[in-house]
Structure 1
Amino acid sequence: MLDAFHISAGSMQAHQTHVDVIANNLSNANTTGFKKSKVEFEDLMYRELAAAAGTLVRPDLTHPVGLGTTTAAIEKIFSQGEAKGTDRNLDLLIQGKGFFEVLLPDGGAAYSRTGHLQIDAEGLLVNADGYPLNPALQIPADAQDVLVSPEGVVSVLLPERDQPLELGVIELAAFMNPGGLTPMGDNLYAVSGASGDAFYGAPGEDDFGVLAQGFLEASNVSLIEELTNMMVAQRGYEMGAKVIQAADEMLGIINNLRR
């Protein structure tokens, strides 16, 4: 009887985690470049009950009883988000599996799908938080316009030139298992043992994807899907609470029989 309390409590905790993940997905439905998370559950260990006595019962017959569920993993889903036109020449959309690599203040690298770029005081292309792209690209102070081709070639228009001046190429990073990346906040991800090390290439190569200038990637959160998942998680939580209530009533009946 006591197992029912622990099993149901564990189920309620797992469903609470599910609701928390859904809440985070919904709260970032309008966050540029956000990737939704998905909860995976797994059953816990099993306890074998002793076989009932009697000649009709096989001696090798086992009676495994499960001890509940737990959260196995919370995985990021990197499906492509909808393209949103911005008419801003420093907004870049990755159409494919690639990531922008940026350098953090401590010298480490982080990865992002958000291409809302800016030019800092030194002329470097940086993300919205001021972290420069890697490899670095410096825009001349007198540049009249910045052009980015689908293959990542960055060019600028200068007053004294009739033709655009090519500055370099925006490289993209990719991973064998992007779902294993560790979220850092600010739409940034860090390498983990599950994701594997980053490998690099220019846009248009292999599965890195191509760039679209003047567009940003919207969140891949589906409101209908998340609301449906929330109702399912809520019902699961309610069922766990009802099992605890039923087990408590049964235990009360047993206690009353002893009086």
Structure 2
Amino acid sequence: MKALGIAATGMMAQQTNVDVISNNIANANTTGFKSSRASFTDLIYENMAREGAVTGEGGTTRPAGINVGMGVRTAGTVRLNTQGGLVQTENQLDVALDGRGYLTVNMPDGSQAYTRDGSLNLSPQGQLVTQDGYEVAPGIVIPDKTVRVEISETGIVSAFVENDPVPVEVGQLTLTTFINDAGMRPLGKNLLESTVASGDPIAAVPGEPGVAILRQGYLETSNVDIIRQITDLISAQRAYEMNSKAIETADQMMSAANQIK
């Protein structure tokens, strides 16, 4: 009986679905987090009678075939790159990306990663870094004795040093965009990396057409819709229970068949 294996694939698929939903809920307060959804496809079909097959001497044909599916599999997890809300922090080193794009981060191994998390800090050398100490590219160093930092919507970073009323321009924050944002691979720590699916990184300046502007003193919140996630969780639970019931029913049918004398 194929029902046991088919229902088992359904249970595994819904387990993956619950895992994805749980991760979304867990990151409901993670800065710059983008929710994901599990995507599924049906498995190969067993063709027991082909459509259009001749059924009689008069040339009649079968209008519909007999195809029994083998279940379902997880095709992938799709990241939903909608804009999250902006929350004011009044921290001069916090920047929110309002629109498309990512901050570029230089990793210790020489590679680059990308993030929407604009919770920036200063290293002991005065460099702009992420919360985990990774340098934000291009490297920007804030001078010693700086009393205030200003970051414009177009990414220009200026520092007011001591009592000098004229700011010193210390660098330009740039952004990176991708043809297919959903194809980027999550690394954890609010970081993503480019892949063949995402396409090559495209350097851009904040404020260019189709590119985000920077909001100093703000952070982008997670785009997770808790109500939607809870609804999806209930739906996944019910689907899991129905697949479990299908296995139970198939077991009862097999048991009944075994008792026939």
- Alignment TM-score > 0.5, same fold: yes
Q: TM-score, normalised by structure 1?
A: 0.95
Map of 2:36 onto structure 1: 37
- Residue 53 of structure 1 deviates from its aligned partner by 11
Map of 1:124 onto structure 2: 127
Amino acid at match of 2:92: N
Amino acid at match of 2:11: M
Judge conservation of contact 2:126–2:144 (CA < 8 Å) in 1: yes
* The one of 150, 153, 157 aligned to 2:153: 150
Map of 1:183 onto structure 2: 186
Distance between the aligned counterparts of 2:153 and 2:42, measured in 1?
A: 46
- Residue 32 of structure 1 deviates from its aligned partner by 1.0
1:97-116 C-alpha deviation (Å, 9 max, x unpaired): 11000001101000000000
Map of 2:255 onto structure 1: 252
Question: What is the RMSD computed on CA atoms of the aligned residues?
Answer: 1.7
Amino acid at match of 1:23: S
User: Counterpart of 2:241 in 1: which secondary structure?
Assistant: helix
* The one of 66, 69, 73 aligned to 2:69: 66
Distance between the aligned counterparts of 1:163 and 1:184, measured in 2?
A: 41
Map of 2:14 onto structure 1: 15
Correspondence 1:1-259 to 2 at 5 A: 2-50=1-49, 55=56, 58=61, 62-159=65-162, 161-257=164-260, 259=261
User: Counterpart of 1:244 in 2: which secondary structure?
Assistant: helix
Q: 1:108 to 1:54 in 2, by over 3 A?
A: closer
7-16 or 61-70: which moved more? 61-70
Distance between the aligned counterparts of 1:239 and 1:176, measured in 2?
A: 39
Amino acid at match of 2:46: R
- Count how many residue pairs are aligned between Structure 1 and Structure 2: 257
User: Counterpart of 1:173 in 2: which secondary structure?
Assistant: strand
Amino acid at match of 1:8: A
- Residue 244 of structure 1 deviates from its aligned partner by 0.6
Q: TM-score, normalised by structure 2?
A: 0.94
User: Counterpart of 1:65 in 2: which secondary structure?
Assistant: strand
User: Counterpart of 1:10 in 2: which secondary structure?
Assistant: helix
Structure 2: 5+ residue stretches without partners: none
Q: Percent identity?
A: 40
248-257 or 90-99: which moved more? 248-257
Amino acid at match of 2:21: I
- Residue 61 of structure 1 deviates from its aligned partner by 5.3
Judge conservation of contact 2:183–2:197 (CA < 8 Å) in 1: yes
Structure 1: 5+ residue stretches without partners: none
76-85 or 159-168: which moved more? 159-168
Amino acid at match of 1:74: T
Distance between the aligned counterparts of 2:10 and 2:54, measured in 1?
A: 33
Distance between the aligned counterparts of 1:176 and 1:61, measured in 2?
A: 42
Judge conservation of contact 2:144–2:161 (CA < 8 Å) in 1: no
Amino acid at match of 1:85: Q
Distance between the aligned counterparts of 2:194 and 2:181, measured in 1?
A: 9
Q: 1:97 to 1:53 in 2, by over 3 A?
A: closer
Q: 1:61 to 1:81 in 2, by over 3 A?
A: closer
Amino acid at match of 2:17: H
